[in-house]
Amino acid sequence: MATSNPPPAETPTALAPRHEAIDTISGQIAAIDELIGLATLSIRVFDIDLSMMGWNTVGRVERLAAFLRSSRKARVELIVHDVRYLESRAARLRNLHRQFSGVVTLCQTGAAARHALDPMVLVDARHYLHRFHIDRPRAALGIEAPQEAQLLSPVEVRESPVDALWFSRPSSHGREAWELRLLEQTQYALFEAFEADETEMQREEARLEMEARLREHVSA
């Protein structure tokens, strides 16, 4: 009796790094949909209020829901300045939040961060869309650009009496540079470079000390 073996599964094709300047709103909407399609672990969004760029459309919400169903590890974080649109008009996004309440986070920025006017979408800490200013339709798309995405991405959200963001990036001689940036009109930041052989406990102690120094600066 003749038998046949099933064809071997195709190996996913690695994405080629890509950078693209986008100067139209329609181009940015398409880029966001592309990024959601690439997501495997996390989608992090910062926007003024999510009223633009198609966030509450049927297609966008369906794409987000499909991503969240694809893995138990999938997460979506939505950070906005103004929640009025979400509360009064974005019914589809509110329903998505209720349906996936354990893995969809909605956050509002504090007053000190309201000067940040550059919306962005970060996917898997590897891909991004960064609109340079809400009043101008110019943006940069990066595919397979983990270093640039990391520079745009805060490491986590914590309750704090001050509004600030943590950033990290590779530094010279195998070191890793960390920056704690205050989100106020007056620019202020603290920096620390960690050696490759420093333990995570040592690094965390140093970061906590930097946070204490920042709180002292704000209260002075």
Q: Are residues 42 and 146 in the same domain?
A: yes
Phi–psi pair at 136, nearest 5 degrees: -130, 130
Q: Are residues 148 and 160 in the same domain?
A: no
Q: How many domains does the chain have?
A: 2
- Domain annotation covers residue 41: yes
- Domain annotation covers residue 12: no
In the Cβ-directed half-sphere of 141, how many Cα atoms lie within 13 Å? 20
Q: Are residues 80 and 173 in the same domain?
A: no
Q: Are residues 50 and 143 in the same domain?
A: yes
- Each residue of 98-129: pLDDT tens digit? 999 889 988 888 765 777 889 999 999 899 99
Task: Round to whole Å and give the CA distance between 66 and 15.
Answer: 21
Q: Of 126, 153, 180, which one is at a domain's C-terminal end?
A: 153
- Each residue of 15-68: pLDDT tens digit? 999 999 999 999 999 999 999 999 999 999 999 999 999 999 999 999 999 999
- Domain annotation covers residue 4: no
Residue with tokens 């195709």: 10
Task: Round to whole Å and give the CA distance between 174 and 195.
Answer: 7
Q: Are residues 113 and 209 in the same domain?
A: no
pTM of the model: 0.68
Q: Are residues 146 and 195 in the same domain?
A: no
Give the domain CATH number at 131: 3.30.870.10
**SS3 labels along the chain:** CCCCCCCCCCCCCCCCCEEEEECCHHHHHHHHHHHHHHCCCEEEEEECCCCCCCCCCHHHHHHHHHHHHHCCCCEEEEEECCCHHHHHCCHHHHHHHHHCCCCEEEEECCHHHCCCCCCEEEECCCEEEEEEECCEEEEEEEECCHHHHHHHCCCCCCCCCCCEEEEEEECHHHCEEEEEEECCCCCCEEEEEECCCCCHHHHHHHHHHHHHHHHHHHHC
Q: Of 153, 168, 196, which one is at a domain's C-terminal end?
A: 153
Q: Of 153, 168, 183, which one is at a domain's C-terminal end?
A: 153
- Domain annotation covers residue 43: yes
Q: Are residues 83 and 161 in the same domain?
A: no
Q: Are residues 136 and 29 in the same domain?
A: yes
Q: Are residues 114 and 213 in the same domain?
A: no
- Each residue of 136-146: pLDDT tens digit? 999 999 999 99
Residue with tokens 């969240």: 68
